[in-house]
Amino acid sequence: MGAFFVVSSVIMWLMQVTIGAWLFTSFPQIGWKYPVVLLPVLFSVLMFGGLGYTRTHWGVWESWLYYFAYAWMGLVFLGFCICAGFAVLHWILNLCHLHCRVWLGVLSVGTMAVVFGMAIYGGISSPKLKHISVTVPGAPKMKLALLSDSHLGMGVSYKRFDKAMSRIEAEKPDALLVLGDVFEYGPSREKYAERIKNLVTPQGTYGVFGNHEYYVGYENSKEFFKEAGITLLENDLVQMPNGIQVAGIKDAKTVRMTAQEAEDVLKKADNKKPLIFLSHTPVFAEEAALHGAALMFSGHTHNGQIFPFKYLVLLQFPRVYGLFEVEQMKFYITSGMFYWGIPLRFLAPAEIPVVEVNY
């Protein structure tokens, strides 16, 4: 963890220096030492100090510090992408003997203002309901609500979560499928768990761990799932009252799960009954399809959360967001209910998927 903070600090400092350097060369009248050196150092200290402090200290002021630290991280990433893009554009125009640095500087500041506003609005907006219709031969008509990547606690207030759960309740789902990264750390843990438990689901509530369940403590996360009334599937399979099978695996990346281990779980299924496969990380889709899964659901990617971060995620996973067909299996990857840490969303809206089977 210490190495992560050191590397992250250096990267964030360099991004801020890049922004400062672009602004200085575009507007030299503001001086160089403030945007290029002093402000990046100051904000880096505030940002990483805030991230560490708010993991163990909770309160009103701590909440504001938490939001500032994470929001600044996201805004720096966006600002870096914009300034770097304008710097490249300036270089290209210079090659064409077109000198318009001042105008590019003004345009870059305007672009940052618009993008920052959109990202902040995307972060504070309520997740949208998204209806996905699929056909599963042999399965009864039913609604499946997906809860993934809510990252509750310090970053998401109980009020916001309660509102999102009310929207799920209005859909009257037959089952709730929880795809991991549910609760992080912070106050009111019992209230969040109780809110999930109070959702009426005739066919039950089933879920798997994401990577953050391991980060915040394995036993702690197991206790939260128990309090929330979630049937935890760790390389296991259960059957809903209506006969639909649900298989779920541990977070593949965290426990370094092999394809063979995933197949061993899938082999437990009765091939005469429809099977749903849950994996927080979007992997093993081909194995699931091969072993007869009709549906597969994953989260984890957040659809990048902040464009253009999506393209970095694509380097790790061939499928990042949306509905895919893998052989005869339908595979849906959700962008998540809220966000991880950074309370921003840019061109990657949060969502609450409701999967309508045989409607």
pLDDT surpassing 80 at residue 354: yes
pLDDT tens string 2-26: 666 677 778 888 898 899 889 888 8
Rg (CA), the chain: 23
What is the percentage of the chain residues whose pLDDT exceeds 90?
Answer: 75
| pLDDT confidence bin for 263, thresholds 50/70/90 | very high
pLDDT: which is higher, 81 or 7: 81
Mean pLDDT for 104-127 is: 96
The answer to whether residue 197 scores a pLDDT higher than 90 is yes
Read off the pLDDT of residues 166-185 as tens digits, 9 standing for 90 and up: 999 999 999 999 999 999 98
Task: Return the pLDDT at 33.
Answer: 67
- Average pLDDT for 47-76: 85
Mean pLDDT check: name the lowest of 55-59, 134-138, 307-311. 55-59
Flag whether pLDDT at 245 surpasses 70. Answer: yes
Segment 299-316, tens digit of pLDDT: 999 999 999 999 999 999
pLDDT value at residue 64: 87
Number of Cβ within 10 Å of residue 211's Cβ equals 16
Give the pLDDT of residue 102.
Answer: 79
Q: Is the pLDDT of residue 1 over 60?
A: no
Q: How far apart (Å, rounded) are the C-alpha atoms in residues 72 and 208?
A: 31
SS (H, E, C) the chain: CHHHHHHHHHHHHHHHHHHHHHHHHHCHHHCCHHHHHHHHHHHHHHHHHHHHHCCCCCCHHHHHHHHHHHHHHHHHHHHHHHHHHHHHHHHHHHHCCCCCHHHHHHHHHHHHHHHHHHHHHHHHCCCEEEEEEECCCCCCCEEEEEECCCCECCCCCHHHHHHHHHHHHHHCCCEEEECCCCECCCCCHHHHHHHHHCCCCCCCEEECCCHHHHHCCHHHHHHHHHHCCCEECCCEEEECCCCCEEEECCCHHHHCCCHHHHHHHHCCCCCCCCEEEECCCCCCHHHHHHCCCCEEEECCCHHHCECCCHHHHHCCCCCCCEEEEECCEEEEECCCCCCCCCCCCECCCCEEEEEEECC
Q: Answer whether residue 192 shows pLDDT above 90.
A: yes
Give the global pTM. 0.92
The phi, psi pair for 343, rounded to 5°, reads -80, 50
pLDDT above 70 covers what percent of the chain? 97
Domain ranges of the chain: 2-124, 128-357
pLDDT band at 235 (very low <50, low <70, confident <90, very high): very high
Calculate the alpha carbon distances from 323 to 102, 134, 170, 295 in Å: 45, 10, 23, 10
CB-based contact 350:316 (threshold 8 Å): no
Superfamily in which the 128-357 domain is placed by CATH: Metallo-dependent phosphatases (3.60.21.10)
Q: What is the mean pLDDT of the chain?
A: 92
pLDDT of residue 99: 77
Q: Which two tokens stand for residue 212?
A: 């953050």
Q: How confident is the model at residue 349 (pLDDT cuts 50, 70, 90)?
A: very high
